[in-house]
């Protein structure tokens, strides 16, 4: 069957389930006795197993299957939650994630997971009591609900035997559901089926590998039953374990004695009832959402922009005609379309949660690797950002958090010695402010050593000793973002993989954002990232060159100035100006863009000082119009590489203004 059409949905859903597993595992670590959490993880893993088996991703299905066995053991209190056990499960989840990513990228989702699988098996076996018949397979894989339990007990009292039957079909068995049907039919002739794992529904949908487990009450002897089942074609193996239903209260203790049926403590009853009827427990936040391809939203946005152009024209016409009714209608339309614009922009917004939610896992793992104790607090995860920004912001944040853990938070003994609590605190905050979103990472660690930063910066030639003396604390801390800077005494595995903080800075700046750092030695550091709400709307300075209007992104502008004609010098045939003691090249935009009917320079030249990194340039224009928020539109495929133009925008009056790419003009 061609499954490719389901692939997108499969990937999306799998990611959701993995996320659930990750989150719940972390919760489980905090409250190891909560069976409800285990159940939730179990369900997610189970669904994942079914989906991946259906899609034919064997490795994925095998691994989830093993994981499920261990989780089932947790659920039945066969073993308890330990950090070591969680490590193995987390490792399995990592593998699963990698496989899903591989599948999403067009790979085959294959991966060598044998080590993890065998460790999961170890856990499963190491603490699993042998089944009463010694039949090899753990017979207590079934968790019985209260109702099933009573049925079993009654049947036993009436002289029926309780069998747990594990049926394995041949690997190349076709039409598995029909085989299952035959098995069930045979069993129903011999007795009554009380429970099956996976459930009958799943078996009917062929959502199982080769094996399934049924509990049957019957008066037929086990060997006779086995013979009957083996007589069905393509049944490879039948293991029958006779089981007795123990007293329910008997196993109420925490360390249950080998419990033949896995019918364990009474405290489990509630959880099992839940497992019995998973449909009855709806997801906690059942937000009504639909998945929409982001391309569609982009198209919607573009179409809307077309509408804005027409709106501009209409407004112009209505002003010219001065017709009362027309004016009224156009004004109304304008109001509605601006509401519409807000909604469309909002649709592209995604909570930062989608990035943040992987950090608790990461911090836990890192803290364990580094032998530190760290608590991560996440505040404002619901803050929304444009999808495009969200996609890019993950890596820089990972880097900063790693830094905070590796260089910021001290080892527990050092912290104790400094009179700080043993456990370090890393706070991840996100909040709105004006047209920006701020993301802050604060730790209560050692802080940044001003002296060390200065020394290193001077040694690496990033600043001169003279210039260093003039710098404020803030500026000195800012030096750690300079290319080629690394404060780590030792290059550890966690941070300092050759990718410096300068990459963080440049990524954030490419998003139109900024990053700053503040620190107090001994108290901790604060990294603050400022991001624009959305990439498609940017703040620009509109400037006039002859009859044409151009837009310069505010993020690149340092300041504007009027330069007198006599202050323009020339070196190597290149006009330059003296800008606060620096020689800055003057770029005449009318020459660069070949603007027709351009006037000559007057007495003074209006200049916009822009920067790219540390380099500056002055852009000469005719006049400044003002600051405005505009919608960035691409020039389309046939105008993809116009020199120094990054896009265009449609102004309120419907005219087009080209947006200048300052990076291309600064050499």
> What are the catalytic residues?
46, 68, 403
Which one among 114, 118, 122, 233 touches other proteins, defined by CB under 8 A? Answer: 233
In the bound state with other proteins, the residue whose beta carbon lies nearer, of 114 and 231, is 231
* Four-CA torsion 491, 479, 518, 493, nearest 10 degrees: -10
Task: Report if residue 645 touches other proteins, rule: CB under 8 A.
Answer: no
Q: Are 627 and 541 in contact (CB under 8 A)?
A: yes
Contact criterion met (CB below 8 Å) for 664 and 553: no
Query: What's the closest the beta carbon of residue 230 comes to other proteins, in angstroms?
Result: 9
Judge whether 193 and 184 are in contact, CB under 8 Å. yes
Cβ proximity of 606 and 596 under 8 Å: no
Say how far apart CA 496 and CA 503 lie, in whole Å: 12
- The pattern of x and - marking residues 392 through 431 that bind other proteins according to CB under 8 A reads ----------------------------------------
Q: Please say which residue, 79 or 181, places its beta carbon nearer to other proteins.
A: 181
Segment near other proteins (CB under 8 A), from 228-236, 407-415, 556-564, 587-595?
228-236
Region 166-185 residues binding other proteins, contact defined as CB under 8 A: 174-175, 177-178, 181-182, 185
**Closer residue to other proteins, CB minimum distance, 174 or 469:** 174
Cα(128)–Cα(145) distance, integer angstroms: 21
Q: Taking the CB of residue 312, how many other CB atoms lie within 10 A of it?
A: 17
Decide if residue 467 touches other proteins (CB under 8 A).
no
Rounded distance between C-alpha atoms, residue 144 and residue 264, angstroms: 9
d(CA 192, CA 160): 10
Q: Which is nearer to other proteins, 234 or 518 (CB)?
A: 234
234 contacts other proteins (rule: CB under 8 A)? yes
Strand ranges across the sheet with 623-631:
623-631, 537-545, 548-553, 656-660, 645-650
Q: How far is the CB of 188 from other proteins (least distance, A)?
A: 12
**Interaction between residue 6 and other proteins (CB under 8 A):** no
Q: How far is the CB of 109 from other proteins (least distance, A)?
A: 24
Q: What is the SS3 assignment for 399-454?
A: HHHHHHHHHHCCCHHHHHHCCCCCCEEEEEEEEEECCEEEEEEEECCCCCCHHHHH
Closest separation between CB of residue 179 and other proteins, Å? Answer: 9
- In angstroms, the CA 336 to CA 242 distance is 73
Where in 482-541 is the site for other proteins (CB under 8 A)? none
Number of residues that bind other proteins (CB under 8 A): 11
Q: Which is nearer to other proteins, 201 or 247 (CB)?
A: 201
What is the DSSP secondary structure assignment for residue 278, as one 8-state letter?
G
Told to check if 188 binds other proteins by CB under 8 A, we report no
Q: How far is the CB of 234 from other proteins (least distance, A)?
A: 7
DSSP-assigned letter for residue 633? B
- Least distance (Å) between residue 1 CB and other proteins: 8
From the number of C-beta atoms within 10 Å of its C-beta (0-12, 13-18, 19+), residue 92 rates as buried
Of residues 171 and 289, the one with the C-beta less far from other proteins? 171
Query: In the numeric block, which tokens belong to residue 598?
Result: 């351009």
Q: How far out from the chain centre does Cα 626 lie?
A: 39
Closer CB to other proteins, residue 234 or residue 601?
234
Quote the least distance from Cβ 228 to other proteins, whole Å: 11
231 near other proteins, rule: CB under 8 A? yes
Binding site for other proteins (CB under 8 A): 174-175, 177-178, 181-182, 185, 231-234
């Amino acid at each position: 069957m061609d499954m490719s059409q389901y692939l997108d949905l499969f990937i999306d859903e799998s990611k959701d389930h993995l996320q659930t597993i990750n989150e719940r595992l972390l919760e489980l670590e905090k409250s190891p006795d909560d069976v409800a959490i285990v159940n939730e993880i179990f369900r997610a893993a189970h669904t994942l197993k079914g989906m991946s088996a259906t899609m034919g991703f064997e490795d994925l299905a095998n691994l989830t299957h093993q994981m499920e066995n261990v989780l089932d053991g947790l659920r039945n209190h066969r073993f308890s939650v330990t950090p070591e056990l969680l490590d193995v499960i987390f490792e399995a989840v990592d593998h699963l994630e990698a496989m899903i990513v591989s599948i999403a990228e067009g790979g085959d989702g294959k991966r060598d997971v044998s080590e993890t699988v065998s460790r999961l098996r170890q856990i499963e076996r190491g603490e699993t009591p042998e089944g009463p018949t010694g039949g090899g397979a753990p017979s207590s894989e079934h968790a019985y609900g209260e109702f099933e339990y009573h049925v079993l007990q009654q049947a036993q009292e009436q002289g029926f035997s309780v069998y747990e039957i594990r049926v394995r079909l041949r690997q190349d068995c076709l039409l598995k559901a029909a085989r299952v049907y035959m098995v069930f039919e045979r069993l129903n002739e011999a007795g009554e089926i009380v429970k099956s794992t996976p459930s009958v529904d799943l078996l009917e949908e062929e959502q199982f590998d080769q094996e399934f487990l049924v509990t049957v009450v019957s008066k037929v002897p086990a060997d006779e039953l086995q013979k009957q089942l083996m007589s069905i074609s393509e049944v490879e193996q039948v293991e029958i374990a006779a089981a007795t239903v123990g007293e329910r209260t008997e196993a109420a203790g925490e360390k249950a004695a080998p419990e033949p049926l896995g019918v364990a403590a009474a405290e489990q009853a509630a959880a099992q009832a839940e497992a019995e009827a998973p449909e009855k427990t709806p997801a906690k936040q059942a937000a009504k959402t639909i998945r929409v391809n982001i391309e569609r939203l982009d198209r919607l946005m573009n179409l809307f922009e077309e509408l804005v152009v027409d709106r501009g024209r209409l407004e112009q016409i209505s002003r010219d005609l001065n017709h009362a009714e027309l004016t009224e209608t156009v004004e109304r339309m304008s109001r509605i379309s601006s509401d519409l614009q807000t909604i469309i922009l909002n649709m592209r917004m995604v909570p930062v949660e989608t990035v943040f939610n992987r950090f608790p896992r990461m911090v836990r793992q890192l803290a364990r690797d580094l032998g530190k104790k760290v608590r991560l607090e996440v505040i404002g995860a619901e803050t929304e950002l444009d999808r495009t920004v969200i996609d890019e912001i993950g890596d820089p944040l990972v880097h900063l958090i790693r830094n905070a853990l590796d260089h910021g938070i001290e080892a527990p003994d050092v912290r104790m010695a400094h009179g700080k609590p043993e456990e370090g605190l890393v706070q991840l905050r996100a909040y709105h402010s004006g047209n920006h979103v701020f993301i802050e990472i604060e730790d209560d660690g050692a802080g940044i050593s001003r002296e060390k930063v200065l020394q290193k910066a001077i040694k690496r030639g990033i600043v001169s000793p003279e210039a260093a003396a003039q710098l404020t604390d803030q500026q000195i801390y800012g030096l750690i973002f300079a290319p080629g800077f690394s404060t780590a005494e030792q290059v550890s595995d966690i941070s300092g993989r050759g990718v410096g903080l300068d990459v963080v800075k440049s990524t954030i700046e490419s998003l139109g954002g900024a990053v700053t750092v503040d620190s107090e030695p001994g108290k901790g550091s604060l990294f603050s990232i400022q991001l624009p709400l959305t990439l498609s709307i940017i703040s620009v300075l509109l400037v006039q060159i002859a009859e044409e209007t151009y837009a310069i992104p505010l993020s690149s502008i340092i300041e504007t100035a009027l330069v007198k004609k006599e202050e323009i010098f020339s070196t190597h045939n290149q006009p330059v100006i003296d800008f606060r003691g620096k020689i800055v090249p003057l770029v005449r935009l009318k020459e660069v863009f070949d603007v027709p009917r351009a006037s000559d320079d007057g007495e003074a030249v209006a200049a916009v000082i822009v920067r790219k990194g540390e380099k500056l340039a002055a852009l000469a224009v005719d006049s400044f119009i003002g600051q405005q928020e505009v919608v960035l539109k691409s020039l389309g495929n046939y105008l993809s590489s116009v020199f120094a133009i990054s896009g265009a925008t449609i102004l309120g009056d419907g005219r087009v203004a080209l947006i200048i790419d300052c990076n291309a003009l600064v050499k």
